[in-house]
């Protein structure tokens, strides 16, 4: 924690902050600061738990300062017994009237340093939770994470679902239409697992832009031609060149005003478009389908309950990879958390 000495001349005491304000990492710097962070390096940053509290404050996982909800005064850090060893306390003087009405405390109010954060209401150390977030981001299986942390089986499942909600929130907030004039988008149905006769499952449409590899996967529960057309018009910009399998083309793409080329099984052919050769295949889309299938089976097993969540987790991991997985969670968790 920062030095708790008081200051003179009415300046704010350092006891109003967990870390000095200049130590809080800005949004633009967080990704680069955490890029390629190893497990051993993380443990050095969050051990003991006092350092984990400072880490959380630096990356805005918890508030670095707090205002009293009763009087709007800045609250002070106060030592206390418990997991975190600190709490926020407003030392504004309690009035005589409040004391006559039965108020026993001689200070205005107090709050947990976890108030309004992703840690609020959870009875695990901040260090343990940050460690869980890191291991989940690195794709550790839950039973492996439990070996490193104090998470129970039920708690690890709940937190994995919460991490998936953060990933889903990121995809919803940042997914934008792909393509544009001259751009090529491969589109087609994705089949990630076998289904039993009569089993209901979402109809998955994959779209990937060749130039950027930006990918969109849409799950359509009640599939119709009109729904397919609506999704394509929403997520693929006009004048985009589409490369589609025959089934998706017949299902409704043929009714849309896009330049469309249909792939042929086991055959790659070339078409001349605007004076350039265009390879008519869906290899990139199939590679993404295979990658998603492997991830889905590893993450999900035979469970279908949170299917869309797993798909969005896959898209999140495609965005934050090559050393940025943990940074992506740290970056978006404070923004997407609802207290």
- Tally Cβ neighbours within 10 Å of residue 177: 16
- So what's the pLDDT on residue 308? 76
- So what's the pLDDT on residue 11? 43
Residue 146 lies in a domain: no
Query: 153-174 vs 307-319: helix axis angle to the nearest 10?
Result: 70
Whether 303 shows a pLDDT value over 80: the answer reads no
Q: How confident is the model at residue 210 (pLDDT cuts 50, 70, 90)?
A: very high
User: What residues have CB less than 8 Å from 294, skipping those under 6 apart?
Assistant: none
**Could you tell me how far CA 68 lies from the centroid of its own chain?**
30
What rounded mean pLDDT belongs to the chain? 84
In terms of DSSP bridges, do strands 215-220 and 241-244 run parallel, antiparallel, or are they unpaired?
Answer: unpaired
- Find the farthest-apart pair of alpha carbons in the chain and give their distance in angstroms, rounded: 88
3-class state of residue 64 by DSSP: coil
Residue 218 lies in a domain: yes
Whether 42 shows a pLDDT value over 90: the answer reads yes
- So what's the pLDDT on residue 59? 95
Domain that holds residue 18: 14-121
CA nearest to 329, candidates 59, 122, 28, 49: 59
Find tokens 């006769």 and name the residue: 197
Q: How confident is the model at residue 242 (pLDDT cuts 50, 70, 90)?
A: very high
Q: How confident is the model at residue 29 (pLDDT cuts 50, 70, 90)?
A: very high
Q: Are residues 98 and 206 in the same domain?
A: no
Exposure string over 201-227, b if 16+ CB within 10 A, otherwise e: ebbbbbbbbbeeebbbbbbeeebeeeb
Q: Distance between CA atoms of 337 and 61, rounded to whole angstroms? A: 10
The two tokens of residue 117 are: 């954060």
Residue 141 lies in a domain: no
Q: How confident is the model at residue 94 (pLDDT cuts 50, 70, 90)?
A: low
Q: Distance between CA atoms of 94 and 98, rounded to whole angstroms? A: 6
The two tokens of residue 36 are: 């390629």
Residue 6 lies in a domain: no
Final residue of a structural domain among 121, 139, 173? 121
Q: Are residues 200 and 116 in the same domain?
A: no
Whether 55 shows a pLDDT value over 70: the answer reads yes
Q: Are residues 299 and 200 in the same domain?
A: yes
Instruction: Please give the C-alpha separations between residue 228 and each of 21, 73, 234, 323, 338, in angstroms, as whole numbers.
Output: 50, 54, 10, 35, 32
Domains of the chain: total:
2
- So what's the pLDDT on residue 302? 44
Residue 112 lies in a domain: yes
The two tokens of residue 76 are: 């002070």
- Tally Cβ neighbours within 10 Å of residue 303: 9
Q: Distance between CA atoms of 314 and 219, rounded to whole angstroms? A: 13
Greatest mean pLDDT among 1-10, 131-140, 276-285 lies in 131-140
Q: Are residues 284 and 192 in the same domain?
A: yes
Beta bridge partners of 90: 109
- So what's the pLDDT on residue 232? 94
CA nearest to 311, candidates 324, 336, 292, 297: 292
Whether 81 shows a pLDDT value over 50: the answer reads yes
Cis peptide bond prior to 81, omega within 30° of 0: no
Q: How confident is the model at residue 215 (pLDDT cuts 50, 70, 90)?
A: very high
Residue 314 lies in a domain: no
Residue 229 lies in a domain: yes
Q: How does pLDDT run across 10-28, given as a tens digit for each residue?
A: 444 468 999 999 999 998 8
- So what's the pLDDT on residue 93? 65
Final residue of a structural domain among 121, 144, 174? 121
Final residue of a structural domain among 72, 93, 121? 121
In terms of DSSP bridges, do strands 184-190 and 241-244 run parallel, antiparallel, or are they unpaired?
Answer: parallel
Q: Are residues 109 and 191 in the same domain?
A: no
Residue 152 lies in a domain: no
pLDDT average, residue stretch 48-53? 92
Q: How does pLDDT run across 107-128, given as a tens digit for each residue?
A: 788 899 999 899 988 889 999 9
Q: How does pLDDT run across 138-179, given as a tens digit for each residue?
A: 989 999 999 999 999 999 999 998 999 899 889 888 889 999
Find tokens 């930006």 and name the residue: 214
**Residue 244's domain is classified under what CATH number?**
3.30.420.10
- So what's the pLDDT on residue 4? 46
- So what's the pLDDT on residue 10? 42
């Amino acid at each position: 924690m920062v030095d708790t000495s008081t200051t003179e001349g009415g300046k704010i005491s350092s006891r109003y902050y967990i870390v000095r304000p200049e130590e809080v990492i800005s949004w633009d710097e967080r990704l680069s600061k955490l890029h390629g962070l190893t497990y051993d390096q993380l443990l050095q940053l969050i051990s003991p738990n006092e350092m984990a509290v400072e880490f959380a404050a630096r990356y805005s996982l918890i508030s670095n300062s707090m205002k009293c909800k009763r009087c709007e005064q800045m609250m002070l850090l106060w030592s206390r017994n418990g997991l975190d060893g600190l709490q926020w306390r407003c030392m504004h003087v309690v009035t005589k009237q409040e004391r006559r009405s039965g108020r026993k405390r001689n200070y205005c109010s107090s709050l947990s340093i976890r108030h309004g954060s992703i840690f609020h209401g959870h009875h695990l150390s901040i260090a343990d939770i940050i460690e869980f977030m890191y291991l989940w981001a690195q794709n550790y299986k839950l039973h492996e994470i439990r070996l490193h942390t104090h998470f129970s089986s039920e708690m690890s499942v709940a937190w994995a679902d919460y991490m998936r909600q953060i990933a889903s929130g990121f995809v919803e907030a940042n997914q934008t239409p792909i393509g544009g004039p001259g751009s090529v988008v491969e589109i087609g149905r994705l089949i990630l697992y076998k289904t039993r006769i009569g089993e209901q499952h979402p109809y998955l449409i994959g779209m990937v832009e060749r130039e950027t590899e930006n990918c969109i996967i849409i799950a359509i529960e009640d599939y119709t031609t009109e729904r397919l057309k609506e999704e394509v018009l929403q997520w693929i910009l006009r004048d985009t060149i589409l490369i589609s399998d025959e089934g998706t083309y017949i299902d409704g793409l043929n009714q849309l005003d896009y330049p469309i080329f249909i792939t042929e099984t086991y055959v790659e052919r070339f078409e001349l478009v605007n004076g350039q050769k265009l390879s008519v295949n869906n290899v990139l889309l199939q590679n993404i389908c295979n990658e998603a299938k492997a991830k889905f089976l590893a993450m999900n097993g035979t469970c279908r309950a949170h299917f869309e969540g797993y798909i969005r987790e896959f898209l999140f991991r495609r965005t934050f990879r090559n050393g940025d997985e943990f940074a992506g969670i740290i970056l978006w968790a404070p923004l997407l958390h609802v207290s």
